[in-house]
Amino acid sequence: MENLTQWNLTFAGLEGIGLRILVFIIAITILFFSWSGIRTIQPVSRRIILFSLRMTGILLIVFLLFQPQIEQKEVLKLKNKVVCLLDTSKSMSLKGGDTNIVRSRLVENFFTDNDSFFKELQSNFDVDFFTFSGTPAETSYKDIKTGITPDGEDTDFVQTLKYLQQRYKDTNVKAVLLFSDGKDTIARPDNVNTSDHVSTLARELAAPFFTFAPAENMEVRDIAISSISYNTFTFARNPWKADVTIKVMGYNNLKLPVTLKEGNDIISTKVVNTGNEREHNIALSFTPYKIGTFLYTVSLPVQPNEAITENNQVSFLVKVVRDKIRIMHVCGRPSWDERFLRQTLKNDPNIDLVSFFILRTPNDFSNASNDELSLIPFPVDELFTQVLNSFDLVIFQNFDYRPYDSSIYRFSYYLNNIETFVKEQGGSFLMIGGDLSFTQGGYDGTAIEEILPVHLTSGTDRTETSRSHALLTENGQLHPVTTLDINRERNISIWENLPDLDGCNITTQPKTDAVVLATYSAQGTPPLIAVRDAGLGRCMAITTDSLWRWNLLSVGRGGSNRHYMKFWQNSIKWLIKDPMFNPVHITVSKETYLPKEEVQVNIKVLGKNYQPWEGVQLEIDVTNEFTGKNILANRGITESDGQYKFSFKHEDEGFYIIKTIARIDSEMIGQDHTIFSIMKTDKEFKDTSIQRELLMKLAEVSGGKYFNLPQKDIRGKFSIENPPITKLVGKKFISLWDNGYFFMFIVSIISLDWWIRKRCGLS
């Protein structure tokens, strides 16, 4: 900047043009008549002196009427603006190819190699230096030469250009020098193209962009999982797919195994032949069977001399929910109980029912050939081997398996599959009574007895046929299966008023870990409804085949079948472990946290009556899902609302599992777990390629130029306009006519003219 003083003569009087012309005409007229009056005076020299005096006097009077003044201006000469932008996001810390040179080092070298150019630039222009990843931050030429650490979490070109627009909206920016790898990491709506948006902002800034990016030989050696497209929730027993985009840079003809894991278990693998292509898209799929939130990981093997390995693995959470409850219903013969239950299951839109009831067995005698009988063969092998895992619940209703336990069908082998289905795969099993069930169906001593909530003893168990009533036990008054009304007193009253039943199977006794919910009022109150957790799954035994009376007779009395329907809804939800029936439930405020962000945890415990349970002792552990390292061990006691809340902070990135075990007097009453993650929103290494296209377009639309780094002599390769700019900082006016000297001078002229005229004898 340079201060200058400028002088100008201005006139404050007779502002109208017409008035000024009139004054000049009058002055000329006066001079004409004055000349006419003195043209006879001799000698000529005296005549000229008199005319000169009169002309001077008249001009001074005209000058007086115009009110002359001197305008003094103080002017500041300004420099045009040039802006330098340096990308300091993490991707600028990557080393290029075989050069072993960091991208940000290329920029530093450019400033060192072109030091004289920048000194001249700062001499001729007002140069502002900024670093940017998100919003730009001011820096200095000295700091750039000493080195700037590229540690920005994101690169946002749109935000950067908007900042320049706002900052320099009233400033003449003549050039923008942009140093970057061109990668914008901000996720934008599908209808917003980043390149077009940036180009529009560059045009509005009205300054040429000279962009600089690492040359092609600076591409890193890297294989990266660039993106994964997947649904954050899926349905159990339905195929789930993840579309994976892999970018390969610096390697050719690789055979890459792409692995999908659930936790530490590999569930899907594909091999990609990369060839010379840089981008590959593959789909990984599998079918989940368990519900809940699970951690999945897609990974690639690390290659020799790979620049960065963090992007070889991506983990994410997927919530598996039920689409429909799949139930296999096998009935030994048609009956009223089978009919009403089957109708109830079929009418529920949330249930996908596969039902079989046996009209004849392989042992039944028939005079007709099998080809003439219009019966569908019982697909035993397919049901109990190939597709058993696709079901949530298996129901045996008054079904005797023994006619199928031959060398052909081997049904006792399938009973072992059902035990595995329940204990190891978290399935559920329900046996409903009748003269072909329990011991009468030959299940004593089989794998089914292992999972049932009641003991079976051959020769002791029998069928009771007398009509009697269902009696709720103390546990049954609180259990969700037998809760037909949330009010305990009303619930007991409902059970007391249900129609009588037509008998039950008399089993020996319930197992020690079983819960009897209702008994049969006759014959010493044998178990009528009993439940049990068996391994990972659940089982229920209903020792009667006459629950249909709760439907038909209730409606016949003028009531409704809602209690019958409610009982079956409760039973199915409990059997399949519907989350609403889990007595212990852990929730976190969100699934993903930043390092050192507070993780808020809430544990809620419900009693057997599914009301808040106060005073429950909680054992809590938080561990890393991959390493198993424990980061928190906590103890707590639930308050009056049945809840225990706590929070903690942790800085290490990863996926973590919170597990809790709830106890009363050292007896475990339930447990639960949930998964959350701690990670930075770091997108800089997902795609390590250099995006020159954006920088080239930015230079093109703004009238600038694109350059590859390194550039050792940039002088002369581009020019920046530098028109002069001045700014008025102050001014004042000096009047020339309103002072005594001016008037004395006029009077002196007039007096001298008068004296000469008198000497010449003129009037």
pLDDT digits (tens, 9 = 90+) for 47-78: 777 777 778 777 777 777 777 777 776 666 67
Q: In what order do the strands lie in the sheet with 292-299?
A: 233-235, 313-321, 292-299, 255-262, 265-273
Secondary structure of 572-634 in HEC code, one letter for each residue: HHHHCCCHHHCCEEEEECCCEECCCCCEEEEEEEECCCCCECCCCEEEEEEEECCCCCEEEEE
Computed over every residue of the chain, the mean pLDDT equals 84
Q: How far is CA 291 from CA 128, 426, 711, in A?
A: 57, 10, 58
Fold assignment, 325-575: Rossmann fold (3.40.50)
User: Would you say the C-alpha torsion 128, 132, 135, 138 has a positive or negative sign?
Assistant: negative
d(CA 527, CA 26): 135
Most trustworthy range by pLDDT among 193-202, 350-359, 674-683 = 193-202
By the 8 A CB rule, do 391 and 427 touch?
yes
**Residue range 441-499, pLDDT digits in tens:** 889 889 999 999 999 887 767 787 788 889 999 888 878 899 888 788 898 999 999 99
The pLDDT tens digits of the residues spanning 512-566 come to 889 899 998 876 788 999 999 898 899 999 999 999 999 988 887 877 888 999 9
Whether 152 has a pLDDT exceeding 70, the answer reads: yes
Give the residue from 643, 532, 634, 632 showing the smallest Cα distance to 584: 643
pLDDT for position 408:
61
pTM over 0.75: no
Q: Could you give the maximum distance between any two Cα atoms of the chain, in Å?
A: 173
Predicted confidence at residue 360, as pLDDT, reads 56
| Cα Rg of the chain (Å, integer) | 48
Confidence label for 747 from pLDDT (cuts 50, 70 and 90): confident
Domain boundaries, the chain: 2-67+737-759, 79-218+690-724, 222-321, 325-575, 581-678
Sign of the CA dihedral 161, 167, 169, 173? negative
For the ranges 80-84, 291-295, 649-653, the maximum mean pLDDT occurs at 80-84
pLDDT digits (tens, 9 = 90+) for 98-124: 677 888 899 999 999 999 999 999 988
Question: Which CATH fold topology does 581-678 show?
Answer: Immunoglobulin-like (2.60.40)
Q: Which CATH superfamily is domain 79-218+690-724 in?
A: von Willebrand factor, type A domain (3.40.50.410)
Residue spans of alpha helices (H) in 39-114: 44-66, 103-113
Pairing of strands 462-464, 504-506: antiparallel
* pLDDT for res 373: 47
CATH topology agreement for domains 222-321 and 581-678: yes
Is residue 374's pLDDT more than 60?
A: no
Helix (H) or strand (E) holding 658: strand 654-664
Instruction: State the DSSP H helix or E strand holding residue 759, giving kind and residue range, or none if neither.
Output: helix 740-759
Considering the domain 222-321 in this protein, what is its CATH number?
2.60.40.10
Average pLDDT estimate for 157-183: 90
In the predicted structure, residue 653 carries a pLDDT above the cut 60 = yes
Distance CA 763, CA 754 (A): 9
Q: Which residue has the higher pLDDT, 688 or 257?
A: 257
Place of tokens 């003269």: 435
Query: DSSP strand E in 322-398: where?
Result: 325-331, 351-357, 393-397
Does residue 399 carry a pLDDT above 60?
yes
SS (H, E, C) 148-192: CCCCECCCCHHHHHHHHHHHCCCCCEEEEEEECCCCCCCCCCCCC
Which residues are CB-neighbours of 656 under 8 A, at least 6 positions away?
622, 623, 624, 625, 631, 650, 675, 676, 677, 678
